Structure 1
Amino acid sequence: MTNGPGAEQAADRVWTIPNVLSMLRLVGVPVFLWAILEHDDTLALLILMGSGISDYLDGKIARRFGLVSQLGAVLDPVADRLYILSTLLGLAWREIIPWWLVAVLLAREVLLTILLLIARTKGLREMPVHFVGKAATFNLLYAFPLLLLADGDGTLASIARPVGWGFAWWGIVLYWLAGLMYAASLRRYLRARTLQPVSPT
């Protein structure tokens, strides 16, 4: 994205297509929770698939048409985390996934929260976004509808189960790898600040 007045205007815009997609994803979170707790698996699957598609589209559109904004930089990861959290809790409550999986992914979120708090106390407003983190999110968002679809005894469920768990395991590994990469980035940033020469007053 080029720098200049146009880029600054795009960064401050609110009503862009990527931002609207992120807002719709956020609105879908409570609807998804209601659907999965009420065993309305068709609606829950549609919402999860729509979330995964819109997550891909909002980033693609934002980069392709220069619509990257400050609001979008906040909305997109918030929507991702809310969907992951709500889906984890819903699937665990339904006993579709084990509670240890919830604990493993939530532990990574705790780690990232601690890193962000440390970063902000040291003057770093946000952590750089790694491709690994986005890949982890995509894997998890693809795994969840497949695991929900696998909650049955038919042929489709038998096919969806191993594929869903394959995405889930890749998502878990990449999610933690991204967390460790954030920790390494923060360590390098803090080390560079420590080594900077002090300007004479």
Structure 2
Amino acid sequence: MDFHNFGSLPNLITFGRLILVPVIISLITAQRWKEACVAFIVAGISDGLDGWIAKTFNWRTELGAYLDPIADKALLVSIFVTLAIVGAIPATIAIIVVARDVMIVGAFLIARILDKPLKVRPLWISKLNTLAQILFAALVLSVEAFGVSKGAWFDASLYIVAALALASLGAYFNRWIRHMSA
């Protein structure tokens, strides 16, 4: 079967990640932590897997270039907001994560409206930010699922996730300013 002809295997994996978002949110709100943790880990692994397959087999598509970051944002924004609502993480970290994404999407939209569209290319700091957010969310879900105590690692992780989100926002903002000034 040639997946490349109907959207590629990486795109199908990404669609699967999108489908998992409401499932994970429902599991968290029902406090079915173990199931939510497993589903989230599957979604997190799928994020790396779809990119690896696309690069390794040269199955990159324009749809995938847009769909993958949308799936990442849908997953992470939903997870952080839901974890904040149920009290598993401070609302401040959810606000930072969501505000970063809203500002970046807003900048891309403004560039497009002003007929100066930017290419969708994730920066290395953005990839590191996404990885940190996925790992942090998985750790929080694991804590809730297995009753592990939140220790100093939790506060340190909060600061790391916040710092990476803000650094990533700064890097994108710098790129956007240079692009818009050219």
Taking CA–CA contacts closer than 8 Å with sequence separation of 6 or more, which of the two structures ends up with the larger relative contact order?
A: 2
Instruction: Give % identity.
Output: 28
Change (3 A) 1:141 1:165: farther
Selected match of 2:131 from 134, 138, 160 = 138
Shift of 1:167: 4.2
The reply to whether residue 95 of structure 1 matches residue 87 of structure 2 is yes
Find the residue that maps to 2:165 and give its secondary structure: helix
Give the Cα separation in 2 of the matches to 1:16 and 1:53.
18
- Give the ranges of 4+ consecutive aligned residues of structure 1 lying more than 6 Å apart after TM superposition: none
Give the Cα separation in 2 of the matches to 1:125 and 1:189.
8
Give the Cα separation in 2 of the matches to 1:50 and 1:162.
27
Residue 124 of structure 1 is matched in structure 2 by 117
Residue 62 of structure 1 is matched in structure 2 by 54
Is the Cα–Cα contact under 8 Å of residues 146 and 163 in structure 1 kept in the other structure?
Answer: no
Give the Cα separation in 2 of the matches to 1:32 and 1:152.
13
CA RMSD of aligned residues (A): 2.1
Give the Cα separation in 2 of the matches to 1:109 and 1:57.
23
TM-score by length of 1: 0.80
Give the Cα separation in 2 of the matches to 1:112 and 1:122.
17
Deviations 1:39-72 (A, max 9, x none): 1111100111011111011111111110111111
Change (3 A) 1:117 1:147: same
What letter matches 1:57 in structure 2? L
Give the Cα separation in 1 of the matches to 2:11 and 2:120.
20
What letter matches 1:38 in structure 2? A
Unaligned runs of 5+ residues in structure 2 are: none
Residue 151 of structure 1 is matched in structure 2 by 144
Change (3 A) 1:149 1:162: farther
How many aligned positions are there? Answer: 178
